[in-house]
Structure 1
Amino acid sequence: MDLHYEPARPDELLDIMKIENAGFSPAEAATTDAMQERISAYPDTFIVAKNDAGKILGYVVGPAFNHRYLTDELYAHAHPNNPDDKYQAVLSLAVHPDFQHSGIGSRLLTELSHVAKRQERAVITLTCLQNLVPFYEHNGYRNEGVSNSSHADETWFNMVLPLE
């Protein structure tokens, strides 16, 4: 399947939110306001994958910041990427339910890694639930243990991908 990658646009917010709400529990999912902030704040690291018809099949989003592991405050407020920060975070990776298990999530992670390398980031970092650890390990991420995050009252795992 051919995919096209581009920055998320404000007029795509509703389609993005449908995918977000299908992929995350209500406690885990970003609010519409938070996602709108992210579209504005992260124009280079909010990437949508579209098919040839222009339909959004998935997206990946996250800020650059200066810590190895995500903090819960990253979910609360979006601040523009700082070019000097060495870590690229992933706040959300989601694929439309009709297109899951077709490699789109992995391809979005690869696309984000290309952007992060161009921006001279050292590491991509994210947290995930235990059931997703194997997916991220398959994509080259290392499990560095349980996160301090209390987001959505879940147990999260720190996953990191060194960029070389």
Structure 2
Amino acid sequence: MNLQLRLATPADLPEIMRLERAGFAADIQETDITFAERLAAAPDGCWVLDNEEGRLLGYLCAEFWAFDPAAPAAKFARDHSAGALHRLDGEEVYISSMVVDPATRGTGWGRRLFRDAVAAMFARHN
């Protein structure tokens, strides 16, 4: 299978939401508004596995936050505002969400998505 890891774009939102619905129970899924804000506020933290046929097989979204040793629980709430928390110069990375398509689970692509996306974020961030 030929997959490409690349930065997500707003055009990926429908596929990201398809994966979100496939990967999480309805009561913990985040909204398309939340993902649109993540893509706008933290584009360097949203990565996708693209099969180059218009279908995504996974995504990972993260934000860089200012260091906060006593981070309040509200900071981690579902549908929190990436725009309010993401900082280009942030010292902490928060993985807000990650899903691999159920059809690709057990193939190692999830591990590769996590490893390569985090490495790419840190390479771009430094």
What band does the TM-score fall into relative to the shorter chain? 0.7 to 0.9
- In structure 2, do the counterparts of structure 1 residues 12 and 117 end up closer, same or farther at CA, with 3 Å as the change threshold? closer
**CA displacement at 1:84 relative to structure 2:** 2.3
**CA displacement at 1:40 relative to structure 2:** 1.1
Comparing 38-47 and 49-58, the one that deviates more: 49-58
Aligned residue number for residue 44 of structure 2: 44
Bigger strand share: 1
Gaps of 5+ in 2: none
**CA displacement at 1:14 relative to structure 2:** 1.1
- In structure 2, do the counterparts of structure 1 residues 38 and 83 end up closer, same or farther at CA, with 3 Å as the change threshold? closer
Paired residue secondary structure (1:91): strand
Deviation string 1:82-132 (CA, Å, 9 cap, x unpaired) is 232111111111011111111121111112221343224xxxxxxxxxxxx
Aligned residue number for residue 29 of structure 1: 29
Aligned residue number for residue 20 of structure 1: 20
1:73 equivalenced with 2:78 (yes/no): no
Identity %: 27
- In structure 2, do the counterparts of structure 1 residues 30 and 53 end up closer, same or farther at CA, with 3 Å as the change threshold? same
Aligned residues: 120
Do the aligned residues in 2 keep the contact of 1:46 with 1:61 (CA within 8 Å)? Answer: yes
Bigger helix share: 2
- Counterpart amino acid of 1:32? D
Which structure has more RCO (C-alpha within 8 Å, separation ≥ 6)? 2
- In structure 2, do the counterparts of structure 1 residues 41 and 109 end up closer, same or farther at CA, with 3 Å as the change threshold? same
